[in-house]
Structures are given as C-alpha cells and as structure tokens.
Amino acid sequence: MKWWLVAIAVGVLAVRLSCRSDVDRTRIATFNIEHFPKNARQVEGAFDEIAATGATLVAAQEITAPAVFLAAARRRLAPSWDFVHDPPRVEHHHHLGVLFDRRS
C-alpha cells in the first residue's frame, strides 16, 4: 500500500473531523471498481452504490480515468466532491485515490 495515499486519507479525515461538531455523521467507504470506466452502465452503477453508502469519504481503486471519475462524482453526487489520486506511472495505470465531499 502506498504510505502517502494513506497519509492523504488520514489528513483529509482529520481536517474534516476537526471542523465538524457532528462527528457521528462521518462515513467512510472503500470501493474497488474494476477498470473504471469500462462502460456507461458501470459508471452509473458505481455511483449508485457510492451514493447508497452515505459516505463522505471513499477510498477508490482501479480508476483508469481519474477525470472521468471526478466528473461522474460531481454529476451524480454533487459539485462539491473532489478526487485526489496517485500520479500516473504508465498509460492505463490503475489509480488509487480518495473521493471526498468538501462540504463535510
């Protein structure tokens, strides 16, 4: 596991928790989305599942197109969502990242 990705996730969570008075509402999820985006059905299904969790922070794996992932998150969840991920190493690289709602 990449230590810096964990550090980013912990940092984002720490900032979020320190800025909130209602800590019980923080939900974290992990999602391994196989070769995202394979097709439109996968995109829609993935974000249906993410929305259903009620999570405000989602660790995601196997993201091959981070810009598409972020655009889908903002379209399906809210414009306030953001995605940070590891830098590309090779073409069609599977990214690891953290999707989070900046409002939370």
- In DSSP notation, 8-67 reads HHHHHHHHHHHT-S-GGG--EEEEEEEEE-S-HHHHHHHHHHHHHHT-SEEEEEEES-HH
Residues facing 84 on adjacent strands:
98
Domain range for residue 76?
3-101
CB 99 within 8 A of CB 73: yes
Q: How many domains does the chain have?
A: 1
User: What CATH number is attached to the domain comprising 19?
Assistant: 3.60.10.10
**What pTM value is reported for the model?**
0.74
Per-residue pLDDT of the chain in tens (104 residues, 90 and over written 9): 566 666 677 677 666 666 655 555 788 999 999 899 999 999 999 999 999 999 999 999 999 999 999 999 999 999 999 999 988 777 768 899 999 999 97
